[in-house]
Chains A and B, each alone.
Chain A
Amino acid sequence: MNGSIKNKRLRSFLSDKAAVIGATIMICFILAGLFAPLLAPMNPYDLKSVDLGNVLIQPAWMDGGSMSFPLGTDDQGRCILSTILYGLRTSMLVGFSVVAVAGTLGVILGMVGGYYGGLVDAFVMRCADTVFSFSTTLLAVLLLGVFETRGLFTVIFAICIADWVKYARTIRGSVLEIKNNPYVMAAKASGARDIRILFQHILPNALPPILVVMAVDLAVVIMLEATLSFLGVGVPLTEPSLGMMIAIGKNYIYAGMWWMILFPGSALIMLVVGINLFADWLRDELNPKLSR
């Protein structure tokens, strides 16, 4: 039974061209990020390998380009291709960490709120409403603006605080529906503990919409990290980031040095489009009611 469902899913996935393209892009980018140290021509954040004699070199196929820097270099003499590969690592690390941490936090808070109701629920949902009305982006900018330490961890932390709400709201809705089902009542009547009911009976049935939110959120968080780093409140200068690359490129925009913007920009857009294509398929697959 389980196997046939899996087969059906796989067939539906393979017949959806957009989903396959999206997933392929996603996997390629994940692998590129994971193996960046092996793939990249140089380590752009190792001072020994950076030579200030190589600043602002054009892409290899243009006049003045060099084969050792396929996509050109930036104002510090860093290879653009290598920086993109290392930047993808940061994007992925922030993206997956936030989805995991904020997702877990939001799911637990939303589940507890929805299941117990009353004051706990009211408190969680009021907090959620407030965070929601400020919007994830604004809250993350403000938090990072006032935090005194800069670093990858701080960025992940700030985005998590701003981001758990969508998970809490989504799962709360499902829990409210599920908790009055006969099988939950039966579990309660047979004396199962709340924690067992929540995680064994309710969570599995409330999971599909959460998976969709996670997929969409991965794209949102990756864009948010790039935005924060672009503004200068994200990852510190010593960490690679696509957003920061574009911010540096912006200084040379009138000098016609388009490669410092267009290459990291395209990488970011392709990654996000890939995730969104996959997320669209997932939404249709897991919830036929919510067709596009």
Chain B
Amino acid sequence: MGPRERPQFTTMASYILRRVLQGLLVLLAVSFVCFCLFRYTGDPVLMLAGKYATQEEREMVRHAYGLDQPTHIQYIKFLGGALKGEFGKSYVSQVDALDTILERFPATFELALVAILISFAVGVGMGIVVSIWPKGCVSRILMSGSLLGISIPTFLTGILLVMLCSVYLEILPAFGRGDTVQLGPWRTGLLTLDGLKHIILPALTLSSYQLAVMMRLTRAGMREVMGEEYIKTAWAKGLSPAKVILKHALRNVLIPVVTIAGLSFGELIAFSIVTETIFQWPGMGNLLLTSIFETDQPIIVTYIMLTSCIILFINILVDLLYAVLNPKIRYN
């Protein structure tokens, strides 16, 4: 590393440090909200001791779980527990809350992954088509389709897909994950034909909210880039259209597309709740909604803390990636 890169490296390092600190501060705020939620909505004593517990039994529970101590001590204990991954046991199943959620993680992760791949491949692909042949018939259909795409809420897309593919055509299953294979700690549905069939509809549903956005972003980016000097140079060099578009133009177009996709990760998690509910997908979102109806606070709190960590981590990662990919950005 030459001396000229040095200052930029330190700005970068301090930028990373600042982002991580900010992230921790947000997590602290979230943990405080979660603590209040856990402590002050519903009566944890009643939930832990059961409806029919006597006054003495309730006192015992109150003391055993430290619920009789001052608030700030309780909060510190809660934080300590959270750091060790201890959020208590589910009120309903009496199983460790974090374990319950982590068991559901592979299902949600696989669904989200397939959905991202679909929306990325199809969205960017359609964006390229529309920007290359803006006057074509296909492009017109795609552009009006994208308006419809942003105007249909995800849950309706899911229901309509079920109606079409499962009820009328009877070609795809609409409920559950199908056959799964256990790979060490990871239970995957991507390795069996049945599992793959089951993931198609939910993944299409989950990808739908981002498809139109990705297409519009790609189109806008392509239009801008195609007029740049270096693209004209590439054409002048006699490169094939595929090479000019895929290698030279697309590379710069993809930076904002990936950034926006990463920054809207919270949206993906939100819509995974909707999708999992429609398809009875045994993931974290489905568990969250069930827990909301059962007022199972430990599960809700754990879910919020876990998704906050994931979202903040992805956000920081995307920011860094953006800084690495785009040397024009200076952080100061």
Contact = CB atoms under 8 A, between A and B. Distances in A.
Interface in A216-245: 219, 223-224, 226-227, 230-233, 243
Nearest to B143: A292
B159 A135 contact: no
Contacts of A139: 266
A146 B300 contact: yes
B221 to A, nearest CB: 14
Interface in B22-79: 22, 26, 29, 37, 41-42
B304 A265 contact: no
Contacts of B37: 146
B321 interface: no
Contacts of A232: 289, 293
B232 to A, nearest CB: 23
B266 to A, nearest CB: 3
B147 A130 contact: no
Interface string B267-305: 101110110011000000000110011000000100010
Contacts of A223: 151, 153
B127 to A, nearest CB: 13
A246 B289 contact: no
Contacts of B163: 253, 258, 261
A133 B313 CA distance: 11
A175 interface: no
B167 A254 contact: yes
A246 B159 CA distance: 9
Interface in B222-278: 263-267, 269-271, 273-274, 277-278
A52 interface: no
Interface string A168-201: 0000000000000000000000000000000000
B152 A269 contact: yes
Contacts of A227: 153-155, 274
B300 A230 contact: no
A269 B155 contact: no
A261 B300 CA distance: 30
A192 B293 CA distance: 54
B148 A273 contact: yes
Contact of A137 (B267, B288, B312, B315): B267
B292 A265 contact: no
Interface string A125-140: 0100010111101110
B304 A142 contact: yes
Contact of B315 (A133, A243, A269): A133
A133 B270 contact: no
B150 interface: yes
Given A246-B159, A250-B278, A269-B156, A145 B147 contact: no
B263 A133 contact: yes
Given A133-B266, A137-B270, A253 B167 contact: yes
B181 interface: no
Interface string A99-126: 0000000000000000000000000001
A268 B147 contact: no
A250 B277 CA distance: 11
A231 B288 contact: no
Contacts of A133: 263, 265-266, 311-312, 315
